[in-house]
Structure 1
């Protein structure tokens, strides 16, 4: 409750690596909601990550509480389906959905979504005009020289997956190479 000098960093109880107290979180949230500074400035002042502050504020705004479900909790498939269906139905982001359901990490919902698209049991029941057939896990296959029109669908899907993975790897290599070239340029 003591006034802070402008630009002075506020440290959480237990140092920057410790868990944050409820009071610290509420102070940071209030500083953002009551002030004119954006997420970045407030997060910097409190010595926390911007995405962490965003998550706290989003959670607080959605249910006026900070306590997410217990860390490391396992969720049943019905709950996961409910979360994914709600997200798609209301066109929410991962972060908004996590805040709505009181989940600590929005990345958890992203994992559930990937499981859905890979055909695992978590697949939500999403009502659509045409049912979507999600293929079982496809083992990538290197493309062959034979005519594509003569190949079975499973083989084409496996080759497509292989090409997508190959493309992703090449893009990553290109990005790493560009980053490597940029670093010496900055030092000069």
Structure 2
């Protein structure tokens, strides 16, 4: 037995290709399928997590391939419905369904399932995170134009900016005064 071979970054393919070589994965799968030991024992012997070995074996059994779809791939709504329908009709687990459709992570199917039952449109986790943080509107900086010519929104924006600027300056002044007090107290 040899230690798992790590693959390096491939700049032409845009990043990390995978931690273990295809040969190592096949060796691990063969050791499990042809041996009498369970996932945990084979995985411990090879120095990998047993759930990783279980995923490799499930993927291999279902597709006779070890190459999941590329990371970051976007799936159509139709494909997501097809995956969920297949899982429910055949009473498969998330892991079995992921192996059947050659998906890398079974957790993605769980997200699709929750979205399906909640009635929300299936959006990616990245989009959900982005929309959770409201976009901050920058206050309008004061300009030299006549105040009588400005709209109410412009004047309110400038007022907000001035108040914020004033608060920052007061805080800065308080910090400087506190720093001076601590310097004078120290002999």
TM-score surpassing 0.5?
yes
Superposed displacement of residue 78, structure 1: 0.7
1:12 and 2:14 aligned: no
Matches within 5 A, 1:1-188: 4=1, 10-14=2-6, 19-122=19-122
Q: Distance in 2 between matches of 1:39 and 1:116?
A: 33
Decide whether the 8 Å contact of 2:59 with 2:66 is kept in 1.
yes
> In structure 2, what is the Cα distance between the partners aligned to 1:118 and 1:19?
36
Hey, what's the Cα distance between the residues in 2 that align with 1:79 and 1:21? 29
Q: Who wins on radius of gyration, i.e. which is larger? A: 2
Output the TM-score relative to the length of structure 1: 0.57
CA RMSD of aligned residues (A): 1.7
> Which blocks of at least 5 consecutive residues in structure 2 are unaligned?
8-17, 123-187
Q: Quick one: higher RCO (CA 8 Å, sep 6+), 1 or 2? A: 1
The structure where helix makes up a greater share of residues is: 2
Q: Which consecutive residues of structure 1, in runs of 5 or more, have no partner in the other structure? A: 5-9, 123-188
